[in-house]
Chains A and B, each alone.
Chain A
């Protein structure tokens, strides 16, 4: 199904699969280092969407005609592709969503609404993206549950030594990110799940920053839920998935009502389909799912191990050269980490730096990165963030260093 590239990977030809990268911004060659926000899309993904709309477009699961059969087949094949990609036992464990945020809200409403009670504790960490914090705040407010947080150490890792104390029997859910979107920290997710299981807590892994960057296997991690977004891994925006262990999805009530998720409906009452369709009311993002499957084929053609190695090489190269810049403070752990580098420069505020960089064709992100509590923990109003993907190069990092050096001089 997916083509396997010869080893070693020809990164130069990989880059050529992304037409958007070949352009000038403000008269300079574009350097796209905002991959933690969203990644660019390779031609094969755009071709998959085009092919679907040119040949197979129809609604799924109910048309008794050829196009509907094709669309349904492609949509369900995409589900199986996602299941295989993250090591799920069955395609029935994959619910298509608009992305990580919707996946987490689904769990908070459908699972949390049914199984959590007043006084229960939801354990999170201090490094969660707002998407893995706000849905739990809303739920806790509604049912009277308590939120508790695993602190973050100065080096950007979780204070694991406090975990035993925090994981009391009142903890019914432990939700945490795999890779921090501000710090680049890779959390020991399998260990966190094992400890949570020991006290009977259900686990949710936010894989938004890991699914397209490193091998992710839900049976190795042994989580109950895992959420990720397609658009951060070469797929279209509005595509994404929730993995839920079969028994746990089975026990959950629907969250959205409508067509596609019912078996029979009377005016008074309805019977609902089994998972995953129980959680997919209305016409789904069919093209998005097909695009996501194409992205998975593409990524597996390179291999996540090779991507992680390449990303790590870029990250280490950047960290090494950041150290040469004056007044530079880099957040996050040394050693193994995701391809995300958050930093502050003494002489320039993140917004000034980001504007300056943009005028030189360099796309960085400046601000709080949907991590306001984490920024407060480090005493910062925000940071500047460079995040890499496999189509980026060390030459681009060299140019970034030059631009940052110029900025330091300009604002000093």
Chain B
């Protein structure tokens, strides 16, 4: 087993891909983002429910894809739950830096998500790791500034 492969597929990552957390549909989602990666057929359906305080109260995903995309989505939902939009946006930026930039970026509270840094050595796999985060960024953009969005998805 090569070191790079072990770094890419760490046990925590494989565990999330085998048993993704927050997997399923969110009936009371305020924003639902369908994302797909046509180059490889990965797809994600991300549902976000914002609480009265504007935080990401609930977040779930479904879809299919490789271990990296599934693990990234699973770990992302755990990380974003309970965060404000601003915090979530910062985490998305930090994650993007983590997997794409050469510099050793500040982890900025990414926690276990730092384990996905291994994809840097596999440029074709970066978009697998980014798919869920692009969906999340879209969800954040759609809800921002529109106070009326939550009404259409009230349970």
Of the residues B5, B39, B42, B64, contact of A356 by C-beta under 8 Å: B5
Given contacts A27-B2, A359-B2, A359-B4, contact A352 B41 (CB under 8 A): no
When C-beta atoms are compared, the residue in chain A nearest to B4 turns out to be A359
Of the residues A351, A360, A380, contact of B66 by C-beta under 8 Å: A351
Rounded to whole Å, the gap between the CB of B73 and the closest CB of chain A is 13
Give chain B's interface secondary structure class: mixed
- Asked if A351 and B125 sit within 8 Å, CB to CB, the answer is yes
Number of residue pairs spanning A and B whose beta carbons lie under 8 angstroms apart: 50
List of B residues within 8 angstroms of A352 by Cβ? 9, 66-68
- Asked if B41 and A367 sit within 8 Å, CB to CB, the answer is yes
How far is B121's CA from A26's CA once the two chains are assembled, in angstroms? 13
Rounded to whole Å, the gap between the CB of A404 and the closest CB of chain B is 15
How far is B37's CA from A368's CA once the two chains are assembled, in angstroms? 12
CB of B115 within 8 Å of the partner chain: no
- Asked if A411 and B41 sit within 8 Å, CB to CB, the answer is no
Given contacts A352-B66, A352-B67, A355-B122, contact A382 B40 (CB under 8 A): yes
CB of B128 within 8 Å of the partner chain: yes
- Asked if B64 and A381 sit within 8 Å, CB to CB, the answer is yes
CB of B8 within 8 Å of the partner chain: yes
List of A residues within 8 angstroms of B39 by Cβ? 367
Rounded to whole Å, the gap between the CB of A80 and the closest CB of chain B is 41
List of A residues within 8 angstroms of B66 by Cβ? 349-352
List of A residues within 8 angstroms of B4 by Cβ? 26, 359
CB of A375 within 8 Å of the partner chain: yes
Rounded to whole Å, the gap between the CB of B4 and the closest CB of chain A is 7
How far is B122's CA from A360's CA once the two chains are assembled, in angstroms? 14
List of B residues within 8 angstroms of A115 by Cβ? none
CB of A53 within 8 Å of the partner chain: no
CB of A317 within 8 Å of the partner chain: no
Rounded to whole Å, the gap between the CB of B23 and the closest CB of chain A is 15
Bin chain A's interface residue count.
20 to 34
- Asked if A355 and B40 sit within 8 Å, CB to CB, the answer is no
Rounded to whole Å, the gap between the CB of B96 and the closest CB of chain A is 20
In this complex, how many residues of chain B approach chain A with their Cβ under 8 Å: the count is: 20
Rounded to whole Å, the gap between the CB of B5 and the closest CB of chain A is 5
- Asked if B41 and A355 sit within 8 Å, CB to CB, the answer is no
CB of B110 within 8 Å of the partner chain: no
Interface mask (B46-84 → A, CB under 8 Å = 1, otherwise 0): 000000000000000000111110000000000000000
List of B residues within 8 angstroms of A368 by Cβ? 40-41
CB of A11 within 8 Å of the partner chain: no
Q: List A residues 342-356 near B (Cβ within 8 Å).
A: 348-352, 355-356
- Asked if A349 and B9 sit within 8 Å, CB to CB, the answer is no
- Asked if B5 and A382 sit within 8 Å, CB to CB, the answer is no
Given contacts A359-B2, A411-B67, contact A375 B41 (CB under 8 A): yes
How far is B43's CA from A382's CA once the two chains are assembled, in angstroms? 12
List of A residues within 8 angstroms of B8 by Cβ? 355
When C-beta atoms are compared, the residue in chain A nearest to B38 turns out to be A372
When C-beta atoms are compared, the residue in chain B nearest to A410 turns out to be B9
Rounded to whole Å, the gap between the CB of B71 and the closest CB of chain A is 10
- Asked if A381 and B2 sit within 8 Å, CB to CB, the answer is no
Rounded to whole Å, the gap between the CB of B58 and the closest CB of chain A is 27
Rounded to whole Å, the gap between the CB of A12 and the closest CB of chain B is 29
Q: List A residues 288-328 near B (Cβ within 8 Å).
A: none
Of the residues A27, A348, A356, A367, contact of B40 by C-beta under 8 Å: A367
List of A residues within 8 angstroms of B40 by Cβ? 350-351, 366-368, 381-382
How far is B43's CA from A349's CA once the two chains are assembled, in angstroms? 13
List of A residues within 8 angstroms of B94 by Cβ? none
List of B residues within 8 angstroms of A360 by Cβ? 2
When C-beta atoms are compared, the residue in chain B nearest to A406 turns out to be B1
List of B residues within 8 angstroms of A367 by Cβ? 39-41
Sample (5) of A-B pairs whose CB atoms are under 8 Å apart: A26-B2, A348-B67, A366-B40, A381-B40, A382-B40
**Residues of B bordering A, CB below 8 Å:** 1-2, 4-5, 8-9, 14, 39-43, 64-68, 122, 125, 128
**Residues of A bordering B, CB below 8 Å:** 26-27, 348-352, 355-356, 359-360, 366-368, 375, 380-382, 410-411
Q: Which 8 A-B pairs have CB atoms at the shortest separation, nearest pair first? A: A381-B41, A349-B66, A351-B66, A359-B5, A359-B2, A382-B41, A352-B67, A352-B66
Given contacts A348-B67, A355-B125, A411-B67, 16 further A-B contacts (CB under 8 A): A26-B2, A27-B2, A349-B65, A351-B128, A352-B66, A352-B68, A360-B2, A366-B40, A367-B41, A380-B41, A381-B40, A381-B42, A381-B43, A381-B64, A381-B65, A411-B9
